[in-house]
Amino acid sequence: MTRTGTTVPSPITRRGVCLVISAPSGAGKSTIANALRAADPRVKHSVSITTRAPRPGETDGVHYHFRSMEQFKEMAAQGELLEWASVFGRGYGTPRAPVEAALSAGQDMVFDIDWQGHRQIRAALPDDVVSLFVLPPSLAELERRLTGRASDAPEEIRKRMDAALDEISHWEEFDHVIVNAELDRAIAETQAVLNAARLRTTRQTGLADFVASFWG
Ligand code: 5GP
């Protein structure tokens, strides 16, 4: 190999990125995460465990793994959850094994989890996590979006509005923050955060041989 050679990097063997997206319910984080996945086959969604009931249109194993509280507690006790938290009085958690498999295969994972999960996953995987908080354009707009989601009862919506303010109070713990006033822009900004994380020098270990070849 010479300085004028045309060697291209061997298939990049970089570790996957954990992109944690948090937001109050109704700020649009699921829509953003879905768009990211649809646009890029390298992005996988971490399917959480939950003890809440499925909403209309939700499928077990796709949107969540729906489990009983006993099953959830058993998984947590066995160390099968990378992180877990109680949200709205129900259990939510991230299965550990799929995350470890994806990251070592160089696949990026998007996590739609709350601030408690973010803290835990950052502590567990400090070199892999990049995090993003999605703010709604206003509290009034957030309430409008939550009310428009007919699947939840008014009591549930009120609880979610209280929880929204609690979630928002943690926004400064995240690496990046966006305001989802315009969906296309929010998606592009999220994609930019993911791309920058992928390109971090510390993540590009697969490029070492390629760069070394410049010196023959
Ligand atoms: P929902 O019931 O509306 O799908 O989700 C309620 C909240 O639980 C959202 O803020 C969501 O981000 C959070 N959540 C969903 N899955 C997980 C998880 O695996 N871990 C944690 N910590 N939070 C989760």
For the cut 70, the answer to whether the pLDDT of residue 2 exceeds it is: no
22: CB partners within 8 A, 6+ apart? 29, 112, 113, 114, 115, 117, 118, 131, 132, 133, 134, 167, 170, 174
How far is ligand 1, taken at its centre, from the CA of residue 170, in Å?
15
Give distance in angstroms: CA of 127 to centre of ligand 1: 23
- What does the block give as tokens for 67? 């489990």
Work out the end-to-end distance of the chain between its first and last CA atoms, rounded to an integer number of angstroms.
5
Sort strands 49-50 and 65-66 into parallel, antiparallel or unpaired: parallel
Higher pLDDT, 154 or 82: 82
Please state, for a pLDDT cut of 70, what percent of the chain lies above it: 92
β-sheet with 18-22: strand ranges across: 43-45, 108-112, 18-22, 129-135, 176-179
- pLDDT for the residue numbered 157: 81
Q: In the prediction, which pLDDT does 4 show?
A: 52
Nearest CA owner, ligand 1 atom 24 = 113
CB 116 within 8 Å of CB 27: no
Q: Strand, coil or helix: what is 72? A: helix
In short, whether 93's Cβ falls inside 6 Å of ligand 1 is: yes
Residue pair 30/47 in contact by the 8 Å Cβ criterion: no
Nearest CA to ligand 1 atom 22: 117
* Residue 57, pLDDT above cutoff 70: yes
User: Is 76 exposed, middle or buried, given 0-12, 13-18 or 19+ CB atoms closer than 10 A?
Assistant: middle
Q: Give the separation between CA 33 and CA 111, rounded to whole angstroms.
A: 8
Assess whether pLDDT exceeds 70 at residue 7: no
Q: What does the pLDDT read at residue 1?
A: 43
101-139 pLDDT, tens digit per residue, is: 999 898 999 999 999 999 999 999 999 999 999 999 998
Report phi then psi at 52, rounded to 5. Answer: -80, 160
Better-predicted residue by pLDDT, 2 or 21:
21
Binding residues: 23-30
25 in ligand 1 pocket by Cβ < 6 Å?
A: yes
Lowest-confidence pick of 47-61, 95-109, 145-159, 192-206 = 145-159
Q: Which residue ranges are tagged as binding site for ATP?
A: 23-30
Q: How confident is the model at residue 168 (pLDDT cuts 50, 70, 90)?
A: very high
Give the pLDDT of residue 88.
78
What pLDDT does residue 9 have? 56
Q: Assess whether pLDDT exceeds 70 at residue 156.
A: yes
Query: Nearest CA to 110 among 23, 33, 195, 25?
Result: 33
